[in-house]
Amino acid sequence: MAEKNKRDGFGSKIGIIAAAAGSAVGLGNIYRFPCVAGENGGGAFLIVYLVIVLTLGIPMMIGEFILGRRAQKNPVGTFKALAPSAKGWSLIGYMGVLCAFLIIAFYSTVAGWTIESVYKSVINYYHGKDLATIEQGFNDSINMTVRPLLWQAVFIFISAFVIAKGISKGIEKYSKILMPILIIILLILCVKSILLPGAYEGLKFFFKPDFSKISRQVITSALGQVFFSMSLGMGALITYGSYISKKDNLVTTSLMVGLSDTFVAILAGVIIFPAAFSFGIRPEAGPSLAFNTLPMLFNQMNGGYFFCLIFFILLVIAAWTSALSLLEVIVSYLTEELNLSRKKATIYSSVGAFIISILAAMSLHDGSSLTIFGFTIFDSLDKITSMVFMTLGGLFTVLFLGWKIKKQDFEDEFTNSGTVNIRLKKIFYYIIKFIAPAAIAVIMASQFLM
């Protein structure tokens, strides 16, 4: 039975914004965004990305909050509660729970690299090293057997610890102060990066769109990245929505969260591409972009030791607040639908995710045969979650919102029972009912056409 009375909630408006931004801002912005943008032509990708954030991402975030706050439940329970006669829709919720699981599995591997970078910063490993040595060191550490697994175990454990303690005491407390500090450091890094010799080429790559590069692959990748970065389509925001107070304005909350998430991704691009071009790292270099470019940048700075250390610590924390929202999806499902205690639910979900994460990490070893259709397990998890599960989840979520739930439920949550007057209301309905489902369906279908 759902423990309605005991439901925890966010204590303040800034609490929910901080927590939802904590979910959105993470490795997706600083590691994954530059990787995907680099592989997809830079400026061309950025334009498509921004269009999708504004037209689909933010409306969908509002939509997920509407569902969660209306139902006051976990993702599975939400679909059951809002359309009691059509149980099949709860499959979207189950898919979200599964997706959360699979994301944690590869996310914790990348978080593990971040902790490794903290370690390297502490021992001043990067100091005075050239790019080739830093790159070699990064590859070597991925290829180690025990150490990466240890770091990802630490990461999952610290996330599980906060989750076991509950929502407002846990998540809110940690995310409120730290995200602004991260943004300040990113701003300082931007200035440093832009001033490097040869930085202009990187800026041009990132900001000057070559429209001829906009292809189906660029659009599909951008859609997947928007979903991943904004934590859409898999129940994280439905779950957080269920903790939002009835007084909060969902539209302004979503705008603030969505825009800050996008701002951080753009900052990451402005830091990474100029620096990468300056040091001679190719934009398609993948993980090397964040994990090797940045230490090289710190090497050039006064106080580089300090900045490097603080930056990687904050990046671990940003990843951590995202992992909290992933775990919370699974834990809220296990406690509310299967009646497990919060502690047990946390243990099962984190141990399960850790086991899959072992495979993800091992699949990256040189010559590993842990592959699926030629992709490493790590890459497969990354691609399948964002480009299949989340987009499909998002598609059915907007269909559910637009066509299945009671108009009154939608209207009440959207306007706080008529107390807030929302401009552009008509456009929002129109987007949720027609544009979003059509756009997602077309983009997804285009992957399978020649």
Q: What are phi and psi of 153, to 5 degrees?
A: -65, -40
- Distance between CA atoms of residues 164 and 347, nearest Å: 8
Q: Which is nearer to ligand PHE, 234 or 281 (CB)?
A: 234
Mask for 67-106, x = binds ligand PHE (CB under 6 A): ------------------------------------x---
For residue 198, what are its two tokens?
């040869």
What DSSP designation does 89 have?
G
Q: Which is nearer to ligand PHE, 62 or 134 (CB)?
A: 62
Q: Which is nearer to ligand PHE, 57 or 137 (CB)?
A: 57
Q: Does position 108 bind ligand PHE by CB under 6 A?
A: no
Binding part of the chain for ligand PHE, among 177-185, 229-237, 304-312, 361-369 by CB under 6 A, reads 229-237
Mask for 17-46, x = binds ligand PHE (CB under 6 A): ------xx-xxxx-----------------
Site for ligand PHE (CB under 6 A): how many residues?
15
Q: Does position 228 bind ligand PHE by CB under 6 A?
A: yes
Q: What are phi and psi of 372, to 5 degrees?
A: -125, 120
Q: Does position 109 bind ligand PHE by CB under 6 A?
A: no
Q: Does position 254 bind ligand PHE by CB under 6 A?
A: no
Mask for 232-251, x = binds ligand PHE (CB under 6 A): --x-x---------------
Q: What is the DSSP string of 212-276?
A: GG--HHHHHHHHHHHHHHTT-SSSHHHHHHTTS-TTS-HHHHHHHHHHHHHHHHHHHHHHHHHHH
Q: Does position 61 bind ligand PHE by CB under 6 A?
A: no
Q: How far is CA 423 from CA 255, 417, 427, in A?
A: 13, 15, 9
Q: Does position 269 bind ligand PHE by CB under 6 A?
A: no
Mask for 301-340, x = binds ligand PHE (CB under 6 A): ---------------------x--xx--------------
Q: Does position 397 bind ligand PHE by CB under 6 A?
A: no
Q: Which is nearer to ligand PHE, 126 or 311 (CB)?
A: 311
Q: How far is CA 197 from CA 203, 280, 341, 426, in A?
A: 12, 11, 56, 49
- Distance between CA atoms of residues 268 and 31, nearest Å: 8
94 and 76 in contact (C-beta within 8 Å)? yes
Which helix (H) or strand (E) element contains residue 291?
A: helix 288-299
Q: Enumerate the β-bridge partners of residue 375.
A: 372
* Closest residue to ligand PHE: CB criterion: 28
Name the site residues for ligand PHE (rule: CB under 6 A).
23-24, 26-29, 103, 228-229, 231, 234, 236, 322, 325-326
